[in-house]
Structure 1
Amino acid sequence: MDFMVSAETDIGIVKNTNQDSLSVKIIDTYQGRMAFAIVCDGMGGLQKGEVASATVIKAFDKWVNEQLPILTRQTLDQSVIFSQWKDIISGQNEIIGRYGDSQGIKLGTTVVAMLITQSECYIINVGDSRAYIINDDINQITQDQTFIAREIALGHMTPEQAKTDRRRNVLLQCVGASEKVYPDVFYLKSDINTVYMLCSDGLRHEITQEEIYTKLKPELLISNDIMTQNSKDLIELNKERMERDNISVALIRTF
C-alpha cells in the first residue's frame, strides 16, 4: 500500500491571522511506508492562537522524526503509540499554559493527529477538529469535545438546534487552556483505496458531509493535483457561504 497526501489552509474572509497549523507527510520506515497527518486549530488573545497550534505541530513532527523510527524496529504496539502521544499533549498543555501565564493571556489549540501504517490507523483527538474516513461513503471517526456535542449525547439538544446555538464553538477542553487534558484515541484497520481526512471546524460549518464526499471520494483523487484542487474547491465553497473561521484540510489517500 502506498500514499498520496495533500494539505491546504486558508485564513478565511474575516480573521487577520490564520491560527490553524497542519502537517502531512509520507515516511519510509523499517515496516514499510507510513503516512502521518496533524491539524491544530489555535485560539487565544492577542492573536497568539497560531503560537499554540504551531507548537503542538512541532512536538508531533519531532516524534515522527525521532521516536517513530525507533518504534518501527519492532512490532508496533498501539498502547505505546497512544501513551507517547498523550505524553506529548500533556507536556504541550503545560508548556503552552505557562507561556500564556507569562504573557497574561489565555491561548490553546485543538489537535487531531493520525498515523497510517500498512495495516493500521491510529488517531488522537482533543477539541473539535475532526478525522473522517471516506470510501463507499463518508464517516466521522472522532467525537467533538464540545458543549453542544455533550448536550446532544445527553439528549438535551437536537442536532438541528445545535446548528444555530451560539455555544456551538465552546470547547470542553483544549491543549494549553485546560488544567488537565484527556485525549480521545481511536484505532482501526487501514484500507487501500480510501481517503482519510483531517480538518479544522472551519471546513464543516457551512457545507454538508455529502458535499465533502462529492469532492473527496477515492475514485476522484487519482493525483496530488486533483487532491489539492478539490480541497481548495471545498475551502472556496465555505468562503462563498460566509464561513468566518480559518479553514484547513489534510488528506491521506491510500492506493
Structure 2
Amino acid sequence: MNFYIAGQTDVGIVKSTNQDSLLVKKITTDYGGMVFAILCDGMGGLAKGELASATVIRAFDEWAQNELPILGQNGHIDDMSLKNQWERIILEQNVKIKNYGMSIGVNIGTTAVILLVTQNRYYLMNVGDSRAYLLSDDIRVLTKDQTLVEREIELGNITREQAEVDPRRSVLLQCVGASENVIPDMFYGEVMPNTAFLLCSDGFRHEITPEEIYANLNPDIILDSNEANSRLRMLITLNMQRNERDNITAALIKVQ
C-alpha cells in the first residue's frame, strides 16, 4: 500500500505563539513503506509550551530514525516492544520537561498523539486530548481524551453534548511534563486500503463537527497530498472564522 500525507498548523486568531508541534513523514523500508506521525499541543507560561511540544517531537523523530529500523528489521514489529519503547520515551520526556520547568519556575507540558502506520498494522499512543480519527465509510475517534470532562461522562455526571460546551473541557488529567506520573493509552489495529488517519489538536475540532471533517477529508475525495493539504487548510480557516481561540494543527495520512 502507498500513502498520501499532509500536515497543516496555524497560530490562530488570538495567541502570539504557536505551541503546537507536528511531524509527519514517510519511511522507506525493505518490507514496504510506512508513515510515522506525531502531534503535540504544548502549554505553559513564558511561552514555553512550544519548547515542551518540540522536545517530545524531537525525541520521537530520533526514535523513528534510530530504533524503528532495528525494531522492524525482520518485517514484523512486536506490539509490546514498540509500546515499551514509546512509553520509555514519554516517561523520559516527562522527567526532562518537568525538571526544566522547575528550574525556571514555570509549569509546562504537552499532549502527544503518536501514530505509526505500516503495510498491515497501525500503532497509536495518546497522552492528553489531542486525537486520532479513522475515516473509512464513516468517522470514528480512535483515542480517548484524558480530560476531566471525559471522566465526568464516564461517571454519568454529564452528557457528551454537555461536555462539548463545558468550560472545563480543556482541563487535562495528565500531560507530558506537568504530571507526576504519566500513563499513556495504547491502541492497535489493522490497516485497510482506502482509509485515512487524522491527527489533530483540540483547536482543530472545537468549532467544526465530525460530519464536516468527514465531508472534507473522507478517503474517497483525497486524491493526492496537495488535495489533503488544501482541505486541511480550509478546515483550519473555517475554525478561525468561527472564532476558535487556540492554535490549530492537523495531519492526514491516506492509505492508498
Asked if TM exceeds 0.5, the reply is yes
Q: Say if 2:40 is the partner of 1:40.
A: yes
Q: Distance in 2 between matches of 1:164 and 1:5?
A: 32
Q: Report deviation, 1:73.
A: 1.1
Q: TM-score, normalised by structure 2?
A: 0.99
CA-to-partner distance for each residue in 1:107-135, whole Å, 9 max, x for gaps? 00000010000000000000000000001
Q: Distance in 2 between matches of 1:36 and 1:252?
A: 9
Contact 1:4 1:223 in 2 (8 A): yes
Contact 1:152 1:158 in 2 (8 A): yes
Report 1:82-101 matches (<5 A): 82-101=83-102
Q: Distance in 1 between matches of 2:73 and 2:165?
A: 50
**1:201: which partner in 2?**
202
- Secondary structure of residue in 2 paired with 1:87: helix
**1:231: which partner in 2?**
232
Give the paired residue count. 255
**2:191: which partner in 1?**
190
CA-to-partner distance for each residue in 1:193-216, whole Å, 9 max, x for gaps? 111000000000011000000100
Q: Distance in 2 between matches of 1:221 and 1:165?
A: 34
**1:71: which partner in 2?**
71
**1:221: which partner in 2?**
222
- Secondary structure of residue in 2 paired with 1:58: helix
Specify the code of the residue in structure 1 equivalent to 2:206: H
Q: Distance in 2 between matches of 1:14 and 1:209?
A: 24
**1:156: which partner in 2?**
157
- Secondary structure of residue in 2 paired with 1:69: helix
Contact 1:29 1:72 in 2 (8 A): no
Q: Report deviation, 1:164.
A: 2.1
Q: Distance in 1 between matches of 2:83 and 2:191?
A: 17
**1:116: which partner in 2?**
117
**2:127: which partner in 1?**
126
The 4+ residue runs of structure 1 with deviation greater than 2 A are: none
Q: Report deviation, 1:30.
A: 3.0
Q: Distance in 2 between matches of 1:162 and 1:50?
A: 27
- Secondary structure of residue in 1 paired with 2:109: strand
Query: RMSD value over aligned CA atoms?
Result: 0.6
Specify the code of the residue in structure 2 equivalent to 1:122: Y
Contact 1:151 1:157 in 2 (8 A): yes
CA-to-partner distance for each residue in 1:130-174, whole Å, 9 max, x for gaps? 000001010000000000000001101112221222111000000
**2:137: which partner in 1?**
136
CA-to-partner distance for each residue in 1:187-235, whole Å, 9 max, x for gaps? 0001111110000000000110000001001111101111011000100
Q: Distance in 2 between matches of 1:28 and 1:224?
A: 17
- Secondary structure of residue in 2 paired with 1:47: coil
- Secondary structure of residue in 1 paired with 2:46: helix
Q: Report deviation, 1:32.
A: 1.2
Specify the code of the residue in structure 2 equivalent to 1:239: M
Q: Distance in 2 between matches of 1:114 and 1:7?
A: 14
- Secondary structure of residue in 2 paired with 1:205: coil
Contact 1:30 1:69 in 2 (8 A): no
Q: TM-score, normalised by structure 1?
A: 0.99
Specify the code of the residue in structure 1 equivalent to 2:27: I
- Secondary structure of residue in 2 paired with 1:29: coil
Contact 1:126 1:145 in 2 (8 A): yes
Q: Report deviation, 1:8.
A: 0.2
Specify the code of the residue in structure 2 equivalent to 1:13: I
Q: Distance in 2 between matches of 1:245 and 1:55?
A: 20
CA-to-partner distance for each residue in 1:50-82, whole Å, 9 max, x for gaps? 000000000000000000111121221010001
Task: Could you tell me which runs of 5 or more consecutive residues in structure 2 were left unpaired when the two chains were aligned.
Answer: none
